[in-house]
């Protein structure tokens, strides 16, 4: 989902900048399985192939890859020949670096591609992450990591077996305001955060894969509710131990036949913290707040956006320079590959969140408190 748009002239400027940079960075990129090397070592940007050329890849990841330091757009994978043709033209991509889904496995022989970013509908992540790993490529899976915990397990196992790294598209972790939330939790500046509230909702009207459960795995909870869960886990410094939930009544049952239209849920954390949260496809909200005994932090309208809104605390407003979240996310993963460290937003975190999502759906279905 797109919350903020680059101005067309800015997008064109960034595209031209990238094309100039790509000309300088020609030559073979490092192969898929890279030896660990010190961060100070001379290194080339890693070649990234975007798999799935929908809205997010087009409006967010492509511009981000023009602002990255340690990776570059090197190829694409799509089921739509017309999309491949447009991307080839727009980004001067060589034909040999562009793949259809059915011939994607040939990427194993392409040293230009070091990592594959899977941006398909949620339940297809498993197939393509496993195929990318078997091809010897490092992988980022867009969030949520998959449609089920079992799928997450298969993805983690495939990457481990192939000795490639796996990360999940949790862009928020690389935003300075979110880093400050994590620091406040770690240093206990405001005491333990125990009262957490969040709501991420937007009006969704078009017929698309997001309302088809076989592709999405669920409705707004899978799509944007996961962001509230992420922030709550950061504020509590732990995963929840139990959940309660109820599905909100449907105002458009004809449209939301397969998935929930809205969900209200509570997460209980080991330290006694409780999150009260909502997510829906029929309203607009984008807020998060964490309160402790000695203070609070509040993310106002825009809490989960590509550029955050006002962030205030009991000590006053916060002001940080805003990076491109996706560029920071991509560069961090490139650094993981180049230095041998593990991603802070790797498969284990993705699996944890699928466990939480699964528990929320079970709690809503049964009306019971469900342990995570």
Query: What residue spans in the chain does CATH classification 3.30.360.10 cover?
Result: 176-322+353-371
Token digits of residue 364: 């809503």
pLDDT at 248 over 50: yes
How many Å apart are CA 366 and CA 282, to the nearest integer? 24
pLDDT-based confidence at 72, cuts 50/70/90? very high
176-322+353-371 CATH fold:
Dihydrodipicolinate Reductase; domain 2 (3.30.360)
**Phi (first) and psi of residue 117, to 5 degrees:** -105, 115
Token digits of residue 372: 């995570």
pLDDT at 19 over 60: no
**What value does the mean pLDDT take over residues 178-185?**
98
For 303-353, the pLDDT digits (tens) are: 999 999 899 999 999 999 999 999 999 999 999 999 999 999 999 999 999
Contacts 24+ apart (CB under 8 A), 149-153: 149/351, 149/354, 149/355, 149/358, 151/123, 151/125, 151/126, 151/354, 152/347, 152/350, 152/351, 152/354, 153/351
Residue 44 is classified by DSSP as P
**Phi (first) and psi of residue 251, to 5 degrees:** -90, -20
How much is the pLDDT for 42?
Answer: 65
How much is the pLDDT for 249?
Answer: 95
For 357-370, the pLDDT digits (tens) are: 999 999 999 999 99
How much is the pLDDT for 39?
Answer: 46
pLDDT at 21 over 50: no
Give the class (CATH, top level) of 8-171+327-341.
alpha beta
In order of 10, 17, 221, the CA distances from 13 in angstroms are 5, 6, 36
Q: Among 10-14, 24-28, 167-171, where is mean pLDDT lowest?
A: 24-28
**What value does the mean pLDDT take over residues 60-84?**
98
Asked if 219 contacts 256 with a C-beta cutoff of 8 angstroms, the reply is: yes
How many Å apart are CA 340 and CA 272, to the nearest integer? 36
pLDDT-based confidence at 209, cuts 50/70/90? confident
Residue, of 312 and 253, whose pLDDT is higher: 312
pLDDT at 228 over 50: yes
How many Å apart are CA 105 and CA 127, to the nearest integer? 12
pLDDT-based confidence at 205, cuts 50/70/90? confident
Query: What residue spans in the chain does CATH classification 3.40.50.720 cover?
Result: 8-171+327-341
Residue, of 16 and 88, whose pLDDT is higher: 88
**Phi (first) and psi of residue 298, to 5 degrees:** -130, 125
**What value does the mean pLDDT take over residues 189-194?**
97
For 121-143, the pLDDT digits (tens) are: 999 999 999 999 999 999 999 99
**Phi (first) and psi of residue 333, to 5 degrees:** -70, -40
pLDDT at 115 over 90: yes
Q: Among 71-85, 201-215, 249-263, 281-295, where is mean pLDDT lowest?
A: 201-215
Asked if 99 contacts 87 with a C-beta cutoff of 8 angstroms, the reply is: no
pTM of the model: 0.88
Instruction: Report, in angstroms and rounded to the nearest whole number, the Rg of the chain calculated over CA atoms.
Output: 20
Contacts 24+ apart (CB under 8 A), 182-186: 182/234, 184/290, 184/297, 185/234, 185/235, 185/236, 185/237, 185/290, 186/237
Token digits of residue 195: 């009262």
For 264-308, the pLDDT digits (tens) are: 999 999 999 999 999 999 999 999 999 999 999 999 999 999 999
In order of 57, 238, 277, the CA distances from 140 in angstroms are 13, 23, 27
């Amino acid at each position: 989902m797109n919350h903020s748009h680059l101005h067309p002239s800015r997008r064109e400027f960034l595209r031209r900048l990238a094309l100039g940079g790509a000309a300088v960075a020609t030559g073979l990129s490092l192969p898929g399985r890279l030896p660990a090397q010190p961060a100070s070592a001379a290194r080339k940007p890693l070649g990234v192939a975007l798999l799935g050329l929908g809205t997010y890849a087009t409006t967010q990841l492509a511009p981000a890859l023009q602002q990255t330091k340690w990776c570059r757009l090197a190829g694409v994978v799509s089921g739509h020949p017309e999309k491949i043709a447009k991307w080839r033209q727009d980004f001067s991509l060589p034909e040999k670096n562009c793949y259809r889904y059915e011939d994607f496995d040939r990427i194993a022989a392409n040293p230009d591609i070091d990592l594959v970013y899977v941006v398909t509908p949620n339940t297809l992540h498993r197939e393509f992450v496993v195929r990318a790993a078997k091809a010897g490529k490092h992988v980022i899976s867009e969030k949520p990591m998959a449609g089920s915990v079992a799928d997450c397990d298969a993805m983690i196992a495939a990457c481990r077996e192939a000795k490639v790294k796996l990360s999940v598209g949790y862009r928020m972790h690389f935003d300075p305001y979110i880093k400050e939330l994590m620091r406040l939790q770690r240093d206990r500046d405001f005491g333990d955060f125990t009262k957490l509230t969040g709501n991420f909702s937007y009006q969704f009207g078009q017929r698309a894969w997001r309302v088809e459960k076989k592709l999405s795995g669920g409705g707004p909870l899978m799509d944007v509710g996961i962001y509230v869960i992420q922030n709550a886990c950061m504020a509590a410094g732990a995963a929840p131990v139990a959940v309660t939930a109820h599905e909100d009544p449907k105002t458009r049952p004809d449209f939301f036949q397969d998935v929930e239209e809205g969900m209200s849920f509570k997460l209980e954390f080991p330290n006694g913290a409780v999150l009260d949260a909502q997510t829906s496809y029929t309203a607009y909200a984008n807020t998060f707040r964490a309160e402790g005994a000695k203070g609070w932090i509040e993310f106002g309208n825009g809490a989960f956006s590509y550029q955050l809104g006002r962030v205030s605390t009991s000590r006053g407003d916060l002001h940080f320079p805003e990076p491109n979240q996706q560029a920071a996310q991509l560069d961090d993963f490139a650094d993981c590959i180049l230095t041998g460290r593990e991603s802070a937003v790797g498969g284990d975190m993705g699996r944890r969140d699928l466990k939480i999502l699964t528990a929320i759906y079970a709690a809503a279905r049964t009306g019971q408190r469900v342990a995570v």
